[in-house]
Amino acid sequence: MSVQGKSRVVTTHVLQTMKDRGERISMLTGYDYSMASLLDQAGVDVILVGDSAANVVAGFQSTLPITLNQMIYHASSVVRAVKRALVVVDMPFGTYQGDSHQALQSAIRIMKESGADAIKLEGGKEVVESVRRILSAGIPVMGHLGLTPQSINRFGTYVVRATEEEEADRLVDDAQLLEAEGCFAIVLEKIPAKLGQEVARKLRIPIIGIGAGGGVDGQVLVTHDMLGITQEFSPRFLRRYAALGEEMLQAFQHYIDDVKRGDFPNEREQY
């Protein structure tokens, strides 16, 4: 039940049933009302209000600068549009690491002020206190392991994670820990397909991949990337389903042309 008082159709329980039945889960990011409405009409299972908004909406180089208030603004815009999909909101950098009390307060603000269904946060063992405390308040938590963009300054590179045995073992341990704590799902980002499949097989909860191969329980992409609105970002895992960037450019140029030529508005477009 959201703060708007409407139950959405896809719940964390539904996602678990989908995994149990071997039905794949679709997830895409959404940051605003209009896009979220289209995503929901299309029937996507989960809409992630990702902190990738910092990149694709605000133009920052990393996800670090986005604030809790900004995430709540994006999330509440999405929630107003969505009738069916589960809405999950990223907890932004600096609102949950190191202090589980602050983590709970941040998660409560997201749930109360946006009406979202769940939160997502990055990390394993190092954030387990925060995960536990948020869960204790009845807030569903989605984990995120592998290439965790909020740690980009520690990684120093966006290359594939967990290619070495030690990091792969740690990732499996972290995934099992998050499941044992009560997370309802985990995102695995940019890791070898074999490892993604191993985690999905070992864990009962749904594993959603982005660059984690086809052996996981569902897939997520950043909507602006899969629509071809962002043009310079081209990792191997990204499939573009449209070239909207080019179409938008042409539409803008066409409009400018029409205005300059005095062709817009025409007789039927004025009062």
| Residues involved in catalysis | 189
Half-sphere exposure at residue 241, Cβ-oriented, CA atoms within 13 angstroms: 8
Q: What is the DSSP string of 86-154?
A: EEEEEPPTTSSSS-HHHHHHHHHHHHHHH--SEEE---SGGGHHHHHHHHHTT--EEEEEES-GGGHHH
How far apart are CB 68 and ligand KIV at their closest, in Å? 15
| Residue 238: both structure tokens together | 């990204």
Nearer to ligand KIV, 50 or 196 (CB): 50
How far apart are CB 266 and ligand KIV at their closest, in Å? 42
Half-sphere exposure at residue 106, Cβ-oriented, CA atoms within 13 angstroms: 27
Nearer to ligand KIV, 39 or 252 (CB): 39
User: Residues annotated in the binding site for 3-methyl-2-oxobutanoate, as ranges?
Assistant: 51-52, 90, 120
How far apart are CB 71 and ligand KIV at their closest, in Å? 10
Q: What is the DSSP letter of 29?
A: E
Q: What type of residue is 245?
A: G
Nearer to ligand KIV, 239 or 268 (CB): 239
Provide the phi-psi class of 84: left if phi over 0, else alpha when psi is between -120 and 50, else beta: alpha
Nearer to ligand KIV, 100 or 148 (CB): 148
| Under 8 Å between Cβ of 41 and 83 | no
User: Residues annotated in the binding site, as ranges?
Assistant: 51-52, 90, 120, 122
The Cβ of residue 100 has, within 10 Å, a number of other Cβ atoms equal to: 18
| Under 8 Å between Cβ of 123 and 144 | yes
Q: What angle do CA 190, 194, 199 make, to 5 degrees?
A: 80
Chain positions contacting ligand KIV, by CB under 6 A: 29, 48, 50-52, 90, 187, 189, 210, 220, 222
Nearer to ligand KIV, 187 or 195 (CB): 187
Q: What type of residue is 130?
A: S
User: Residues annotated in the binding site for Mg(2+), as ranges?
Assistant: 51, 90, 122
Cα–Cα nearest to 208, from 184, 228, 174, 229: 184
